[in-house]
C-alpha cells in the first residue's frame, strides 16, 4: 500500500510561517515538484504527507493534532524548518516536537531557516526513495 | 559642498514643523503629560492612565494638528505592569505620535487586567472608532455565527479566523479573530543583543525581510548620530526596491491562485524566482537576508553583481507587462475584480491603513516622498495612486509600483558613487545610556514601525507595529455587504503578511 | 481580439526554447554566488591543518547557540582546538560566525540539501565539517 501511494503523494502544509513561502515556490516551473506526482491539497483528509512548519501556540497545536488524526494511513510527517526541528526562533523554551512527541511520529527532519526549495524536494525524493 | 554644509547646520523644514507641533502640544496638555519629546521624526510622551481619554479627546478635537487616525494599539509587559503604546498619525500634516501609558492592575491577575483593558479600549473607541478592533477576549465566543472560516491554506490568509453572519449570500457582519497568531516570543523582545536581534528580526515580515532590519538599523543610526556613506545608502535602496518587487510578485501570484489563473501563476513564479535570485546574489539568502548592519552593509557590491542586477531588471521590465496583460486583459477576471471589496478614502484612512492599499483609494501618502527616507529624494519616481479602491485597483497599483521600483533601481545603478565603505562598528563594546527610539519605514505592505528601549548594547524591549493589522481591520469593514464567494479574493487583495499579525503571548 | 493573437505568439515562441525546469536529481541547480549553506572549517593549504584556534568568537555571536568548542593544551603549553561541534538542526544559516571570525577559519558552502529521519545525525563533528569542502564549488553541490 505504501508503495502504491508513492505514485501520487498529496501534501498538506499546516501552520503559518516563512517556510510555507519556500515550500509553495516549489510549485513553480523552475523546480516543478509535480514531476514526481506531488500535489498540494487543501484538506488533511485527502493528504498522505503532513508538513509541519512555522509558529504554533496551544490553539495551533490542537488544530495540528486534528489534522494529523483525520489523515488516513499510510501517512508521513515532515518537520520543515528550524522552528520545528529544534526550537522556536522566538522562544527558547518552546519545543514543539517535545510537546507532541507522544502524539505525532515524525519521519523526516528538514533543517534550514527556511529550507531552500531544493532541500524540500530532496526530502520528498528521500520519501519516494529515488535519491 | 555648500548644500551638504547647509543640510548639516539646519535641519529640514519638516523637522522644524514637527518641533513646532511638539511645543504646541506641550502648551495644550501642560498638566496631563510628562516627558514630551521628539524621537526621530515622531512625537513621544507619557501620560497617566486616568488622563488618557481626556488627552485623546483634546488631540482629536484640536483643528490645528488634525490627528484623525489611530494607527495601532500595542501592549507589552514589563515588571509585571502592562504598558500601552497608542500610535496616532495625521496624514494631512504628515507626522505621527506615540502615547505611552501603563495600566494599573498587575499583569498576572488576568481577569481584572482584562476587564480594565477592555474598559479602557471602550473609552478610547468613543474618540477613535477603530479602537474597537483591539478589544480582547470573548468577542467571538458567545455569539452565534453563520459561517466560520478557519485559517486558510494560502500564505497570508493563514494566521487568522473569520467569523461571518450572512443573509443568503450577502455578508452582514464580519469578525476577525487572530487567536491563532498570538504566539510566545519573549526571547526576541526581551534583553537581546543588537547582533542577535538584527539576524532574527526579519521574521516579523518574511515576505520582504530586509525592511525590519533596515528600520532597526536606521533607528540606531539616528540614536548614535552616525553619518552613513552615500554608497551604503544606495545599496540599501537597491536591495529594498528588489524586495519590494519580489513581495509584489508574490502578491500577484497569490491573487492568480485565488482567481484560478494557473498559466499566469507559473509565469509569475518564474519572475519571482528571478527576483529572489537577485536578492540572494546580494544578501546571501532568499528570505532572511541578515544584510543591513549599523552604519553599513554586510558586504559591498562589486561590478559583476551590479551587472547581474541591471540585466535581471531589464528582463523583469520585459516580462511583467506580459503578465499584466495576461491577467488584466482578461474580461472574466476584471469583471470579477471590479467593484468587489470597495472602500473609499475616508473609510481606509479611518482604519489606519497605509501603503499600496491606501494609495489605491486615492490618498497620496508614501514615506519615500513624504520624509527624508534614505536618499529617495535624489531619484525621480512617481507615487502610484489609484482612485476607486476596489480589488482591481489594488492589483493594478502593484504593477505600477513594480515599474517604479525598476525605474528607481535603474537610476541607482547609473548613479552609484565609487566610494570605499569603512569597516563596520564593533557593537559588542557599545556603551549607550538608556534610551528609547521609534523608527518607521515604507515597507511593501505599508508603514512599518518599531519601538525599542536600549541600554548598553542590549535591546531591553522591542515592539513591532506592522501595517497588516490595520488591513485586517479594513477587511472587517469591507467584507460587510460583499458576497460570500468574494471573501477569499478580498482577503487576498489586501496583501496581509502573517508575520506582522503575530502578537506576544504573555507568560 | 488582439490579446488573443498576442498571447498566441508569446506562447508560440516557447516552442523553440529550452525548458525552464531544472530536472533536479539529474541536472544541477546553480546557486547564486555568496549563498549561505552548511558551514565548513577551512584548512591551511600549505600545512593541511585547521586554521581555527578555538577562540570562541563564533560561539559568542551565534544567535542560536549551535556551536560547541572543546579546547586542549598541547605539549608546548598552547591552547589548541580539540573538537568543534556544530548542530545543524539549530543553525539558522545567518552567517554571523563567518562574518565575525578574525582568522577566516570558517566558510559557508553551497550545500543545502539535508533531510534525515534521525534528528541527532545533524550534529556534525570536526572531521565532518572539514569534509564539507567537497561541496564548496557551487556547480557540484548535488553530489
Residue B283 has pLDDT above 70, yes or no: yes
Nearest to C93 among A112, A122, A123 (CB): A112
Touching partners of B (3+ C-beta pairs < 8 Å): A, C
Q: Which residues pair with B442 in a beta bridge?
A: B447
Nearest to B269 among A15, A25, A59 (CB): A25
**And the C-alpha cell for B76?**
507589552
Residue B1 has pLDDT above 60, yes or no: no
Rounded Cα distance, B218 and B155, in Å: 29
Q: Do A122 and C122 touch (CB under 8 A)?
A: no
DSSP, collapsed to helix, strand or coil, labels residue B172 as strand
Q: CA nearest B24: which of B104, B117, B93?
A: B93
- Identify the residue whose cell numbers are 482578461: B330
Query: CB neighbours of B219 closer than 8 A, spacing ≥ 6?
Result: B40, B437, B438, B439, B450, B452
> Average pLDDT in the B107-111 region?
74
* C96 interfacial to chain B (CB closer than 8 Å): yes
Residue B136 has pLDDT above 80, yes or no: no
User: Which of B141, B153, B251 should be substituted to probe chain A, the one whose Cβ sees the most A Cβ atoms within 10 Å?
Assistant: B153
B351 with B494: CB under 8 angstroms?
Answer: no
Q: Do C25 and A131 touch (CB under 8 A)?
A: yes
CA distance B330 to chain C (A): 8
Rounded Cα distance, B479 and B166, in Å: 11
Residue C134 has pLDDT above 80, yes or no: no
User: Which of A112, A117, A123, A124 should be substituted to probe chain C, the one whose Cβ sees the most C Cβ atoms within 10 Å?
Assistant: A112
Architecture of domain C2-140 in CATH? 2-Layer Sandwich (3.30)
Domain positions in chain C: 2-140
A113 with C92: CB under 8 angstroms?
Answer: yes
Residue C81 to residues C60, C71, C72, C73, C132, Cα–Cα distance (Å): 16, 5, 6, 9, 18
CA distance C74 to chain B (A): 31
Residue C3 has pLDDT above 70, yes or no: no
Touching partners of A (3+ C-beta pairs < 8 Å): B, C
Q: CA-based angle B292:C66:A115, to the nearest 5?
A: 65
CA distance C71 to chain A (A): 26
Reported as a pLDDT band with limits 50, 70 and 90, residue B245 is: very high
A2-128: CATH, from 3.30.1490.20, 3.40.50.12280, 3.80.10.10, 3.30.565.10: 3.40.50.12280
Start-end of H helices in chain C: 2-13, 57-61, 96-100, 126-131
Nearest to C113 among A82, A108, A118 (CB): A118
CA distance B119 to chain A (A): 26
Percent of chain B with pLDDT over 90: 4
Question: What domains appear along chain B, each with residue ranges and CATH number?
Answer: 2-134 (3.30.460.80), 192-452 (1.10.645.10)
CA distance A79 to chain C (A): 10
Q: Do C93 and B325 touch (CB under 8 A)?
A: no
* A81 interfacial to chain B (CB closer than 8 Å): no
Interface confidence (ipTM) of the complex: 0.92
Out of A61-65, B223-227, B489-493, which region has the weakest mean confidence (pLDDT)?
B223-227
Q: Which residues of A touch B499 (CB under 8 A)?
A: 18
Q: CA nearest B219: which of B456, B441, B22?
A: B441
* B284 interfacial to chain C (CB closer than 8 Å): yes
Q: What is the pLDDT of residue B8?
A: 52
Question: Looking at B94-225, which runs of residues are DSSP E strands?
Answer: 95-106, 147-149, 161-167, 170-177, 182-183, 190-193
> Average pLDDT in the B422-447 region?
83
| Sheet arrangement for strand B69-78 | B33-39, B42-47, B95-106, B81-90, B69-78
B179 with B195: CB under 8 angstroms?
Answer: no
**And the C-alpha cell for B272?**
519571482
Q: CA nearest B40: which of B197, B290, B204, B217?
A: B217
Rounded Cα distance, A33 and A53, in Å: 18
Q: CA nearest A76: which of A110, A27, A113?
A: A110
Domain positions in chain A: 2-128
Q: What is the pLDDT of residue C140?
A: 43
| Sheet arrangement for strand C79-87 | C67-73, C79-87, C123-124
* C140 interfacial to chain A (CB closer than 8 Å): no
pLDDT of C36-74, one tens digit each? 888 888 888 888 788 888 788 888 888 888 888 888 887
Amino acid at each position: 500500500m505504501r508503495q502504491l501511494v508513492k505514485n501520487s503523494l498529496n501534501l498538506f502544509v499546516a501552520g503559518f510561517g516563512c517556510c510555507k513561502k519556500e515550500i509553495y515556490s516549489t510549485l513553480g516551473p523552475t523546480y516543478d515538484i509535480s514531476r514526481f506526482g506531488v500535489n498540494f491539497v487543501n484538506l488533511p483528509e485527502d493528504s498522505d504527507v503532513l508538513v509541519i512548519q512555522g509558529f504554533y501556540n496551544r490553539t495551533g497545536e490542537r488544530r495540528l493534532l486534528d489534522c494529523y488524526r483525520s489523515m488516513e494511513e499510510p501517512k508521513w510527517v515532515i518537520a520543515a524548518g528550524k522552528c520545528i526541528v529544534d526550537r522556536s526562533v522566538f522562544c527558547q523554551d518552546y519545543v514543539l516536537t517535545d510537546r507532541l512527541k507522544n502524539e505525532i511520529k515524525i519521519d523526516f527532519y528538514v533543517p534550514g531557516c527556511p529550507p531552500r526549495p531544493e532541500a524540500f524536494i530532496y526530502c520528498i525524493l528521500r520519501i519516494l526513495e529515488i535519491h | 559642498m555648500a548644500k551638504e554644509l547647509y543640510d548639516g547646520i539646519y535641519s529640514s523644514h519638516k523637522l522644524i514643523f514637527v518641533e513646532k507641533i511638539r511645543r504646541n502640544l506641550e502648551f495644550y496638555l501642560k498638566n496631563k503629560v510628562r516627558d514630551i519629546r521628539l524621537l526621530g521624526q515622531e512625537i513621544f510622551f507619557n501620560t497617566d492612565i486616568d488622563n488618557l481619554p481626556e488627552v485623546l479627546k483634546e488631540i482629536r478635537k484640536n483643528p490645528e494638528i488634525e490627528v484623525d487616525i489611530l494607527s495601532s494599539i500595542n501592549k507589552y509587559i514589563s515588571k509585571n505592569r502592562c504598558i500601552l503604546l497608542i500610535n496616532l498619525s495625521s496624514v494631512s500634516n504628515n507626522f505621527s505620535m506615540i502615547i505611552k501609558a501603563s495600566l494599573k492592575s498587575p499583569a498576572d491577575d488576568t481577569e481584572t487586567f482584562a476587564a480594565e483593558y477592555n474598559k479602557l479600549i471602550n473609552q478610547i473607541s468613543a474618540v477613535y472608532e477603530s479602537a474597537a478592533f483591539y478589544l480582547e477576549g470573548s468577542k467571538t465566543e458567545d455569539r452565534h455565527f453563520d459561517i466560520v472560516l478557519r485559517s486558510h491554506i494560502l500564505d497570508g490568509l493563514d494566521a487568522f479566523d473569520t467569523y461571518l453572519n450572512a443573509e443568503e449570500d450577502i455578508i452582514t457582519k464580519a469578525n476577525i479573530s487572530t487567536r491563532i497568531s498570538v504566539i510566545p516570543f519573549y526571547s526576541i523582545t526581551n534583553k537581546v543583543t543588537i547582533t542577535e536581534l538584527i539576524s532574527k528580526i526579519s521574521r516579523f515580515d518574511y515576505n520582504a525581510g530586509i525592511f525590519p532590519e533596515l528600520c532597526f538599523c536606521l533607528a540606531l543610526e539616528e540614536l548614535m548620530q552616525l553619518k552613513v556613506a552615500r554608497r551604503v545608502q544606495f545599496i540599501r535602496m537597491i536591495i529594498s526596491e528588489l524586495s519590494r518587487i519580489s513581495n509584489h510578485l508574490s502578491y500577484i501570484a497569490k491573487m492568480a491562485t485565488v482567481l484560478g489563473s494557473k498559466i499566469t501563476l507559473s509565469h509569475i513564479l518564474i519572475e519571482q524566482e528571478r527576483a529572489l535570485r537577485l536578492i540572494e546574489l546580494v544578501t546571501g539568502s532568499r528570505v532572511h537576508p541578515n544584510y543591513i548592519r549599523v552604519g553599513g552593509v554586510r558586504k559591498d557590491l562589486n561590478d559583476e553583481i551590479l551587472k547581474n542586477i541591471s540585466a535581471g531588471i531589464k528582463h523583469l521590465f520585459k516580462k511583467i507587462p506580459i503578465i499584466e496583460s495576461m491577467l488584466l486583459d482578461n474580461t472574466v477576471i476584471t469583471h470579477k475584480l471590479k467593484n468587489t471589496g470597495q472602500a473609499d478614502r475616508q473609510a481606509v484612512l479611518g482604519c489606519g491603513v497605509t501603503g499600496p492599499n491606501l494609495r489605491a483609494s486615492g490618498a497620496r501618502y508614501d514615506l519615500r516622498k513624504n520624509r527624508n527616507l534614505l536618499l529617495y529624494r535624489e531619484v525621480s519616481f512617481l507615487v502610484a495612486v489609484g482612485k476607486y479602491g476596489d480589488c482591481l485597483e489594488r492589483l493594478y497599483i502593484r504593477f505600477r509600483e513594480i515599474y517604479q521600483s525598476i525605474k528607481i533601481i535603474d537610476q541607482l545603478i547609473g548613479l552609484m558613487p565609487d566610494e570605499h565603505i569603512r569597516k563596520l562598528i564593533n557593537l559588542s563594546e557599545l556603551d549607550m545610556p538608556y534610551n528609547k527610539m521609534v523608527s518607521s519605514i515604507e515597507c511593501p505592505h505599508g508603514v512599518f514601525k518599531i519601538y525599542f528601549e536600549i541600554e548598553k548594547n542590549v535591546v531591553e524591549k522591542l515592539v513591532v507595529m506592522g501595517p497588516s493589522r490595520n488591513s485586517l481591520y479594513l477587511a472587517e469593514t469591507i467584507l460587510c455587504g460583499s458576497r460570500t464567494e468574494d471573501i477569499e479574493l478580498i482577503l487576498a487583495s489586501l496583501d496581509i503578511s502573517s508575520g506582522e499579525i503575530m502578537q506576544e503571548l504573555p507568560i | 481580439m488582439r490579446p488573443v493573437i498576442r498571447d498566441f505568439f508569446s506562447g508560440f515562441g516557447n516552442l523553440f526554447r529550452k525548458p525552464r525546469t531544472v530536472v533536479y536529481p539529474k541536472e544541477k541547480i546553480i546557486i547564486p554566488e555568496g549563498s549561505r549553506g552548511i558551514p565548513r572549517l577551512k584548512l591551511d593549504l600549505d600545512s593541511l591543518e585547521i586554521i581555527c584556534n578555538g577562540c570562541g568568537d563564533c560561539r559568542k555571536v551565534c544567535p542560536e547557540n549551535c556551536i560547541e568548542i572543546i579546547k586542549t593544551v598541547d605539549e608546548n603549553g598552547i591552547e589548541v582546538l580539540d573538537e568543534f561541534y556544530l548542530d545543524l538542526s539549530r543553525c539558522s544559516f545567518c552567517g554571523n560566525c563567518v562574518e565575525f571570525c578574525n582568522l577566516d577559519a570558517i566558510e559557508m558552502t553551497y550545500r543545502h540539501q539535508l533531510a534525515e529521519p534521525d534528528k541527532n545525525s545533524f550534529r556534525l563533528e570536526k572531521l565532518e565539517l572539514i569534509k564539507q569542502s567537497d561541496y564548496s564549488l557551487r556547480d557540484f553541490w548535488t553530489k
